[in-house]
Amino acid sequence: MEYDIAAIIQGYAQGYFLMADDSQGLGWYGSRDRTLIPLDERFRYPKSLRRVLNQERFTVAINRDFKAVVAGCANRETTWISPELEKIYWLLYQNGYAFSFETWQGDELAGGILGIAIAGAFIGESMFYRIPEGSKVAMVKLVERLRQNKFLLFDAQMMNPHLERFGAYRINDEEYQALLHKALQSPCSLV
């Protein structure tokens, strides 16, 4: 099956995201409110994680093993990442839009975050860990990278208790669209 990468990126640039439903059919979804990870002083994390960061247990990489991160994100009892969506992420990766932000412990993939970068917007699709604290360290290091590279938006799509610990907050669709529009005007690069 052929996929129109430009049309897919346009969908994300309009504030939609792809998900597979229970029957593995792929569709575009939107939301009345969005969850953002703050890229300013509102970003926070537990003190226990600060100790882990200071111990430098993990190294960070971008796209060292993209397919393994996608597989790790999809490997759950219920997932919205169907085999078809995995193929789309791979094509987005090959075209410079999809990224895996990874933590490693030696030669072992500890955790990672899968996302799509379009100009100054980073759209987090999913995250996972194999080694405790692996995805949390990835989150802290990703926020540092997004700040360094002047990204304006880190869209986490939907709130969960894990994201709340990092200061994630919700905004309505009107606010989100305005921020997304501004981010899309800001030329940024993750790497």
Give the architecture (CATH level 2) of 5-184.
Answer: 3-Layer(aba) Sandwich (3.40)
pLDDT in the model for residue 1: 63
Examine the pLDDT at 22 and tell me if it is beyond 80.
no
Examine the pLDDT at 24 and tell me if it is beyond 80.
no
Examine the pLDDT at 106 and tell me if it is beyond 90.
yes
**Residue pLDDT, tens place only, 54-97:** 999 999 999 999 999 999 999 988 788 999 999 999 999 999 99
What number is the average pLDDT over the span 139-165? Answer: 94
For the chain, report the end-to-end CA distance as a whole number of angstroms: 30
* Unique residue bearing structure tokens 């229970």: 22
* 36 CB-near residues (< 8 Å, 6+ apart): 153, 154, 155, 156, 168, 169, 170, 171, 176, 179
Examine the pLDDT at 18 and tell me if it is beyond 70.
yes
Domain chopping of the chain, boundaries: 5-184
pLDDT in the model for residue 162: 85
